[in-house]
Amino acid sequence: MSPPGAAVGVVAAASLAAAAYGLRRLLRRRRVVRAVRAMGKVEFHAHLNGSIRLSTLVELAEARGLAGARALLAGPRTLEACFEIFALIHQCVDSLAVVRRVAREALEDFEAAGCCYVELRSTPRALGEHTEADYVDTVVDVMAGYAGALTPRFLASVDRSRGPAAAAATVAAVAALRRGDARARAFVVGVDFSGNPTSRHSFEAFERLFRECRDAHGLGLAIHVGECPRGDADASRILALARETPGRCRLGHALHVAPEDLCGAGAPLVEVCPSSNVATLRLASLRGHPRLGDVFARGFDVPLCLCTDDTAVFGTDLAAEYLKVRDAFGLELRDLALLVARAADRAFDAPACRAALARHGTPR
C-alpha cells in the first residue's frame, strides 16, 4: 500500500494536467476566434435597419418612450417576432439624422468584424418632408464619406408587402437619382426583393420591374426566395430568372428550394444567413441547415456566401457567422478563405470587392 501522501500527489498531478489541458484548449479557441475575426470577409446580405447597433436601438426606443422594446428584444425570434422588431426599429429610425447614424455605425460594426466589402440593403422611406431619394442619398453620403478601410455599396430594397405600385415608385426614384448623380451610380449597385415572405403579393407582380432593373438600369438583383413554403409559383419564377444571368442575380436564404435547383452550370449564388435561418426554421443546430451539409461534407457545388441578414435581430456579427459554420462543419480557415474568394466574383461590384480583399491581404 502506498503512503497517503503519494495518493495526494497523484491526484494533484492529475488535476494539474487537466487544468493545463483546459488552458491549452482555451488558448487554441482564442486563436481560432481571433483568426476568423481577422480574416478578410465580404457581406452581401445585410439589411441596414436590421443591422442597427443594439445599444443605439435601446437608446432610441427609450428616448421615444417605446415601453415594450426590451421585452420584445428578449423574446424568441420567430418570423412574426422578427417583423415586430423591424416595426419597432422603423419607429425609432424616424429621421434622416438617425438614418445617417445607423448607417455609419453599421459600417463601423462590419469593419470591426473583419468585413472588407459590404453591400448594405435598405427599403427607402420618405421621412418627414424628405423623399425616398433623399433616404438613398443620405446612406450613399455616409458610404462615400466613410473613413475606414471597408468598401461599402448599396442595394435598394423592395418590400413585397407594400405591393407593386410602391415598388415601381421606389425603382423610379432610385433610377432618377442614379441618372443625375455619378456618386449614386457608383454606390447603388443593385436592388433587393424582401419583406414579409407570407405577404399575399407574389413575385410575379414584381418580375417585370426586376427585369427592368437588370436590363435597363444595369443593377444586380438580390432576391429573397423560399424563406417559407408558399402556395404560388414564387420560387420557380425566381429560380428561372436567376439562371438567366447568374452573375447579376443572387438568392437570399433559398431554404425551401431543392438542392438540385441550386447546383451546376449557371447556378446563382445563395446568400446563406446561418443564425437567421436557424431561428426561422427553428432548427436545433446549424448541422440541420438545408444544403450546408451537402456542400461542406459531400462536395455539392452550390455557390454560396455567408451573411448576417440582421445583426441586431439575431444577436450576431459576420465573424460569429463564419465561426458557427466552421464549428458545425469542422472547416479549416483556408476553407473559409476559399469561400470568401469565390463569393467575391458574385459581388455586384466585383472589381471593388476583389480589390478590397486584396488590400486586406486575403489569399486568393
In sequence order, the 6+-apart residues with CB closer than 8 A to the CB of 321 are: 273, 274, 275, 306, 307, 308
Interacting partner of 193 out of Zn ion, ligand IMP, none (Cβ under 5 to 8 A depending on kind): none
Per CB under 6 A, which region of 2-10, 18-26, 44-52, 127-135 contacts ligand IMP?
44-52
As a whole number of angstroms, the distance between CA 11 and CA 33 comes to: 33
Interacting partner of 122 out of ligand IMP, Zn ion, none (Cβ under 5 to 8 A depending on kind): ligand IMP
Interacting partner of 170 out of ligand IMP, Zn ion, none (Cβ under 5 to 8 A depending on kind): none
The SS3 call for residue 19 is helix
Residues 309-338 that bind Zn ion (CB under 5 A): 309
Closer residue to Zn ion, CB minimum distance, 119 or 134: 119
As a whole number of angstroms, the distance between CA 206 and CA 301 comes to: 29
331-340 b/e (C-beta count within 10 Å ≥ 16 → b): eeeeebbebb
Closer residue to ligand IMP, CB minimum distance, 161 or 245: 161
Closer residue to Zn ion, CB minimum distance, 39 or 242: 242
Q: How many residues line the site for ligand IMP (CB under 6 A)?
A: 17
State in angstroms the smallest separation of the CB of 331 from Zn ion: 23
Per CB under 5 A, which region of 104-112, 205-213, 241-249, 301-309 contacts Zn ion?
301-309
Figure out which of the listed residues 77, 104, 201, 224 binds ligand IMP, where binding follows CB under 6 A: 224
Figure out which of the listed residues 56, 122, 311, 362 binds ligand IMP, where binding follows CB under 6 A: 122
Residues 72-91 that bind ligand IMP (CB under 6 A): 86
Give the distance, in angstroms, between the CA of residue 150 and the centroid of all CA atoms in the same chain.
Answer: 15
Of 59, 61, 56, 60, the closest CA to residue 72 belongs to 61
Instruction: Establish if 321 lies at the interface with ligand IMP (CB under 6 A).
Output: no
Instruction: Establish if 227 lies at the interface with ligand IMP (CB under 6 A).
Output: yes
As a whole number of angstroms, the distance between CA 358 and CA 364 comes to: 8
**Degrees (nearest 5) of the Cα angle 268, 230, 302?**
20
Per CB under 5 A, which region of 71-79, 173-181, 303-311, 341-349 contacts Zn ion?
303-311
**Residue carrying C-alpha cell 452550370:** 265
State in angstroms the smallest separation of the CB of 105 from Zn ion: 19
How many C-alpha atoms does 56 have within 13 Å on its Cβ side? 22
On the 0-12 / 13-18 / 19+ scale of CB atoms within 10 A, 251 is: buried
As a whole number of angstroms, the distance between CA 301 and CA 304 comes to: 9
Return the C-alpha torsion angle 234, 238, 240, 246, nearest 10: -170
Question: Which residue's beta carbon is nearest to the bound Zn ion?
Answer: 309
Instruction: Establish if 309 lies at the interface with ligand IMP (CB under 6 A).
Output: yes
Instruction: Establish if 194 lies at the interface with ligand IMP (CB under 6 A).
Output: yes
State in angstroms the smallest separation of the CB of 50 from ligand IMP: 5
Instruction: Establish if 349 lies at the interface with Zn ion (CB under 5 A).
Output: no
Maximum Cα interatomic distance, the chain, rounded to a whole number of Å: 93
Instruction: Establish if 48 lies at the interface with ligand IMP (CB under 6 A).
Output: yes
Chain contacts with ligand IMP (rule: CB under 6 A):
47-50, 86, 122-123, 157, 159, 194-195, 197, 224, 227, 276, 309-310
Chain contacts with Zn ion (rule: CB under 5 A):
309
